[in-house]
Every structure is written in structure tokens, then in C-alpha cells.
Amino acid sequence: MLKTNEFLVALTIVGLSLVIGLISPAYFTIANLFDLLRSATVTGMLALGVLIVIISGQIDVSFTAITAFSMYVTVKILNAIGFNGTVLVAFLISAPIGLALGLINAAIISRFKLPTLIVTLGTQSLFRGFLLFFIGSNLIRDIPGGMEAFWKANLVTLTTPEGALTHLHSSILLLVAAALVTWFLLKYTMLGRGIYALGGAPEAAERAGFSINGIQMFIYGYVGFLAGIAGVAYGSLNRQADPTRLVGSELDVIAAVVLGGAIITGGRGSVIGTLLGVFLITIVNNSLILMGIPSIWQKVVIGLIIIVGTGLPAYQNRRAVGRLSANLAE
Amino acid sequence: MRINNAGTTGQSRPAGTPPKLSIFSLAARDGNLTRLFVIMVAIFLVMSLARPDIFPTLSNFNSMSVQIPEIGILAIAIMLTMLTGGIDLSVTSTANLCGIVTAIILTALVPPTAAGPQVVFGIAVAVAVAITIGLACGLFNGYLISRVGITPILATLGTLTLYMGIAIAITKGTAMFAVPQFLWLGSGTIVGFVPVPLIIFAALALVFALILNRTAFGFRLYMMGTNATAARFSGINNAHMLVQTYMLSGLLASIAGLIFLARSNSAKADYGSTYILQAILIAVLGGVNPSGGFGKIAGLVMALLSLQFLSSGLSMLLIRYSGSNFLKEFAWGALLIAVMVIDYYSNRRRDRALVEKT
């Protein structure tokens, strides 16, 4: 248990928090915690989708384009019909759009047996280009009433000792729900076993009777579905629909998932680890200034965290393999 | 997994036969290259017929030949690492870092009034430092991948962020400017109309084609990418090869950074962040197999030209619409997937024919 990656990441988070908290008392406040959770919501939901792709031994870099696409199209549709009712309708439009785009990925990948990095690289460019050229590239500040209301929908409102109000946004519930569903799916369903099996050894998974195509359909559909939901959350939290944002941040999300212990070659990864990875990246992104480190050093710190965070397990793994073969040779 | 026969043909030629450098003989030997050649010519013809007034003109060729070199050099860098089965995501960060350091050194050593030896000395120092930094960035990548054992995509994702971070820290996020004496490298011409960057790119493409096809290093690289275990047992030091390959990638990135600085007269930490994916796209479209071992410089150059014809042509056809850049993105994505699907069908047909024969 002490050697698991989840534990190491949790330890890093605690250590980092203690250091930041010692330097800046502002860190250990409810207001800061709420801020961190708010910033982690969208990244977290996207990361859960990426987690199951990575567990299956594949990769998806198109999900940010799907998020931007479903967010922007949903806002356009709702504005066009002048619908200002509940935000649920926005989710009901956005999620199927995301699902459909994810299924396009799945169809190309499973029909033609192509490398997933290349296909999703192509569809990222395809989705983004289609969105920005055929649908629109202008920032929409006037978001539909439902999303506007969701922007103000706080789950908890507390008064800080200084007398200011601090809010926990209700979109965190989406992340919690997505995490629970993904956890249940991976832990207790045959589909989840299939995803791990596919990542561990595709050949063996197929022999064991798993339908590889079916699993792939599910994986990319699920990533698209989560990306669609994250799109509405993203638009609501920012109170605007900017179709040019988000694409380009997919590598950050993948980094968070990998820091959380998922192995890029497949077969291993957990929901808890992924959430911890997301929180670690969010804390570093948000709290360096609190530590007195100028924001210009932020990228250096994140780069080092990725290198150390992936290098340490890789190095240990290499030594373990070395020992194993040495033992075998004796 | 995709079956790809690009790259296997060149090495089976008996020693002593002179290589045929004509594009037609290359294409005839290799199905993927033939297809690419047809696609390239088709795009060129369609665009020329659609806009005969502006597409096949000298001024358009000039503007295209300005856009080709930087992305082309980065694509060669990524191709080399893909031949080993890895990838180098840090090339644009490396290029920007080198451009920034060059700009700082040039500004310090070459005042606007400088002439003659002082200019030559200043530029020589700046270029030498830039190339050293590029090699160092590649060395670090190679070390992380071969000694520490991090997967290439993650190691270079980390260094992509790290190198960009260092560049931001040096410049505080602002743009750095070159000196006028340096700009010839980016916008000068030779024999009146051939841009200098294009010549640099052509020379690099030729050199790396020779390295890959004619040297022991190239042979070992293809071998390692095809089967790393077999390569190790035939006495190839895979760790050394990896470090050298990533250093070459860093070297190419630094050259791209120098050209970019000279052409745009500025360098910034986050320039060209879309170049990484574009460079991967060019390499893959050119027949480079991301899992290693297969791919030719000729294919990469044809893919680069196809995409350049496509994007220039599209922006001419759509000059009335805003955002033709976005249509370019759409078209590139569609082309990538279309080529992969065509490859799939033609490889399947070839495999079936082989099965029937045996």
C-alpha cells in the first residue's frame, strides 16, 4: 500500500500543501479549497475519460476539441431558439453531441484498426476545423439563460472570517458523479474488466471472449459523452462560449492522468489516482503565487513534476526488471 | 496494426548499384510513395485549374517556399524519433528556446552599427550557442528515455513544458528581437529568387535521406525501430542510438528556431504551439509508422508539399470567407484520415493477393 502510486501522489499533495500553507496562510482556507475544486472540475471530468482510454492501452487527443464543439453548438442552438429554461436541456443537447463525435472516433479506430494517436490527432483537427469554419469562431458572451443560472448555482455558501462570501459551485457534483460512475464501471462491471484486459493484452482479451470493437465503441463514446457534459460546465463556469479555447490543453490532462499512476502502455490506472493527479496539477497551477514563486516559473515546476513523477516509477520499474532477470540468470 | 512496407525496399539493394534519385523510380518501388505522389500532383492540378490566375505563379511559389522550411525541418526531427518507435513533442519548445537565446546574444554582440568581422563573430557565437542548446535539450530527452526509462511521449511532454518554462522565465513571457544583420537567413534569396530557408531545408532533407539510407547509423536506426530486441542481440547499443537520435532531433529543432527567428525577426516562448501536431501529421501522412521502423524522407517531403498546396489553394479559393485557416485545419484532418483509410484498403488488397499466390 505504501508503494502504490496513489499513495505517493497523495503524499506529494500533502507535502506540497504543508509547504505552501507554511509560507502563505491563505492556502488553508475554505475559500482557497473551493477555488481549487472549481478549477479542478472540468479537467477532472476530462481526465476520467482519458483514464479509461489509457487503461485500454490507447490514447485520445481529440477530447478537448469535442468539449469545445459540443459547448459551442449547444449555446448556438439554445440561443437560436431563445430557450432560457433549465440547464438540464443544455446537458441533454451537449452530451449526445459529444457522444456522437466520440463514436466517430470509435468507428474509424475499430473499422480500420488504425493507431489511435493518429486517428484522434486527425479528428481533433477535423472537429475543430469544422466548428471554427462552418459553425462559427466568435466568442459568445450572451450565454443561454439556463447556463447563466447554472453559473450562479452554488452548492454551499459560507462566510469567511473576514466577512466575505465564498461559494462552492455545484458543478463539483458533476465531477463526483462522473468519478463514481467511472469507478463503479471499472471495478464492478464486465465492461470494466474488458477495458483492463484490452490494455493488458489485447490478444488474450479477445480469446477470453471480449468484443474488442464493442469495448472500443464504449470507450470513445464515453470519452465523448463526458467531454460533452464538461462542455456545458466549462461554458457555464466561464460564463461565455469561446470556441477557440481548450484545444491545446489535452496534453495537460493526459499528464494529470499519468501522474495519477495510469500506465501509458495500458492495463493499469485508477479513478482515485486520476483525481489525485488532477488535484496535484491544479494545486501547482493555482498556488505557486501563494508560495511567492513568480508565475513565470510555473511551467518549469510543472515540467519538473511531470519528469520526476513519471521518471521515478519508470526508474524503479527498470531496476525491478533488472533484478528479476539477474535472479533468473543465477 | 497497420502493415506498412515503406522503408524496407531501400536496404535490400545489392551493394555497388548506384541509387536512383529520381522521384519516379522511388515511387515505382513503393506503393505508399506512389499514392502520395499521385495525391500531391492531383492537389496541385486541381488548385491550378481552380485558380489559374494566382495559384501556379512565381509569387505563390515564393510565399509557399517561405512557409515550408520551418515545419518541414520540425517534421524531419519528429520523423527521426518516430523511426525509433518514440516521439519528440518538445521540438517547438526547443526551437523557441534556441531562438530566444540567439536573439539575446545577437542583441548583445551585434549593435546596429556593427560591420564586418564583428557581425560575423556575433552571429557565429549566437548560432553555435543555439545549436549547443538544441543538442543539450535532445541529450536530456534521450537520457530520460533511454536511461531513466520514461515512455518517450511522457518524457518529451515533460520537457516540452520544462523548456517552454525556461524560455518564459528567461524572457518573462515577452518577445525577443533579432538584429537586422541576421535577417538574411530568413528572408534572403540566392540566385535572385530562391529563399535561403528553402535551400537550408532542401539540404537538410538530402543529408538526412543520405544518413537514413546510406550510413550504418541509418541502417541501425531502422533495425532498432523494427525490432529493438533483435537489434540489441545483433550488437546495437539501443541506449546510445536513442540518445543520438534525440540529439539529432534537438539539433534540427534549433535550426528551425534560428530560421523562425530570422524570418519573423522575433522569438517568443509560446510561438508555433500548433506546429507539433502539424509536424506529426506531415510525418504520418508521409508514411512514417509511429510504432517505428518505417518511413522515408521522400514521403515526408511529398506529404509536406501536398499539405502546403492544399492549404495555399484553399485560402485562395476562400479568400472571401473569414477563417480559411480553420478550413485548412479541417482539410488536413480529413486528408490524414482519408490517406490512412486508403492505405488500409490497399494494404489489405496486397495482403490478399499475397495469400492467394502462396
DSSP code at position B176: E
Q: Which residues in chain A are contacts of B330 at CB distance < 8 A?
A: 125-126, 128-130, 133-134
Chain A residue with CA closest to B172: the answer is A296
DSSP code at position A3: T
Residue A34: closest CA among A170, A207, A197:
A170
Q: Do B337 and A122 touch (CB under 8 A)?
A: yes
* CB-side neighbour CA atoms (13 Å) of A225: 14
Three-class DSSP category at B273: coil
Domain shared by B219 and B339, yes or no: no
Q: Which residue has the cell 486520476?
A: A274
Q: Which residues in chain A are contacts of B155 at CB distance < 8 A?
A: 307, 310-311
Q: Do B340 and A118 touch (CB under 8 A)?
A: yes
Q: Which residues in chain B are contacts of A288 at CB distance < 8 A?
A: none
For B82-96, the pLDDT digits (tens) are 999 899 989 999 999
Nearest to A299 among B154, B168, B327 (CB): B168
Cell of A152: 450562479
- Give the Cα separation of A107 and A117 in Å (integer): 14
Q: Do B333 and A118 touch (CB under 8 A)?
A: no
Domain shared by B250 and B357, yes or no: no
Domain shared by B170 and B309, yes or no: no
Q: Which residues in chain A are contacts of B154 at CB distance < 8 A?
A: 255, 258, 264, 306, 310
Q: Do B164 and A303 touch (CB under 8 A)?
A: yes
DSSP labels, A209-258: T--HHHHHHHHHHHHHHHHHHHHHHHHHHHTSB-TTSSTT-HHHHHHHHH
Residue A253: closest CA among A213, A233, A281:
A281
pLDDT band at B6 (very low <50, low <70, confident <90, very high): very low
Three-class DSSP category at A168: strand
Structural domain boundaries enclosing B328: 1-7+20-56+286-358
Backbone angles phi, psi at A320, to 5 degrees: -65, -45
Q: Do B157 and A306 touch (CB under 8 A)?
A: yes
The per-type count for chain A, helices as H runs and strands as E runs, is 13, 2
DSSP code at position A189: S
CA distance, residue B114 to nearest chain A CA (Å): 34
- Give the Cα separation of B332 and A116 in Å (integer): 17
Q: Do B160 and A310 touch (CB under 8 A)?
A: no
Cell of A215: 469495448
Domain shared by B145 and B249, yes or no: yes
Domain shared by B196 and B259, yes or no: yes
The answer as to whether B226 is a domain residue is yes
Q: Which residues in chain B are contacts of A121 at CB distance < 8 A?
A: 277, 280-281, 284, 333, 336
Q: Which residue, B222, B251, B274, sits at the end of a domain? A: B274
Domain shared by B260 and B293, yes or no: no
- Give the Cα separation of B7 and B32 in Å (integer): 10
Calculate the alpha carbon distances from A133 to A19, A130, B287 in Å.
47, 5, 28
Question: Considering its fold, how many domains does chain B have in total?
Answer: 2
DSSP code at position A26: G
For B112-135, the pLDDT digits (tens) are 777 788 888 888 999 999 999 999
For A61-87, the pLDDT digits (tens) are 899 999 999 999 999 999 999 888 888
What is the residue-averaged pLDDT of chain B?
Answer: 84
Residue B357 has pLDDT above 60, yes or no: yes
Domain shared by B145 and B263, yes or no: yes
Q: Do B165 and A255 touch (CB under 8 A)?
A: no
For the full predicted model, state whether its pTM sits above 0.90: no
Domain shared by B156 and B304, yes or no: no
For A220-247, the pLDDT digits (tens) are 999 999 999 999 999 999 989 998 888 8
CB proximity A119 to B under 8 Å = yes
The answer as to whether B323 is a domain residue is yes
The answer as to whether B64 is a domain residue is no
Q: Which residues in chain A are contacts of B322 at CB distance < 8 A?
A: 137
pLDDT band at A213 (very low <50, low <70, confident <90, very high): very high
CA distance, residue B329 to nearest chain A CA (Å): 5
Q: Which residues in chain A are contacts of B326 at CB distance < 8 A?
A: 128-129, 131-133, 137
Domain shared by B326 and B209, yes or no: no
Domain shared by B161 and B193, yes or no: yes
The answer as to whether B26 is a domain residue is yes
CB proximity A105 to B under 8 Å = no
Backbone angles phi, psi at A290, to 5 degrees: -60, -30
For A152-166, the pLDDT digits (tens) are 888 888 887 777 788
CB-based burial of residue B152 (10 Å sphere; 0-12 exposed, 13-18 middle, 19+ buried)? buried
CA distance, residue A54 to nearest chain B CA (Å): 13
Q: Which residue, B274, B299, B316, sits at the end of a domain? A: B274
- Give the Cα separation of B97 and B95 in Å (integer): 6
Nearest to A108 among B158, B161, B337 (CB): B337
CB proximity A15 to B under 8 Å = no
The predicted complex's ipTM stands at: 0.84
- Alpha helices (runs of H) in chain B, residue ranges in sequence order: 23-29, 31-50, 58-83, 91-109, 117-143, 152-171, 184-187, 196-214, 216-226, 228-233, 238-264, 275-285, 297-317, 324-357
Domain shared by B245 and B306, yes or no: no
Q: Which residues in chain B are contacts of A113 at CB distance < 8 A?
A: 1-2, 344
Q: Which residue, B208, B241, B274, sits at the end of a domain? A: B274
Q: Which residues in chain B are contacts of A115 at CB distance < 8 A?
A: 1-2, 290-291
For B69-85, the pLDDT digits (tens) are 999 999 999 999 999 98
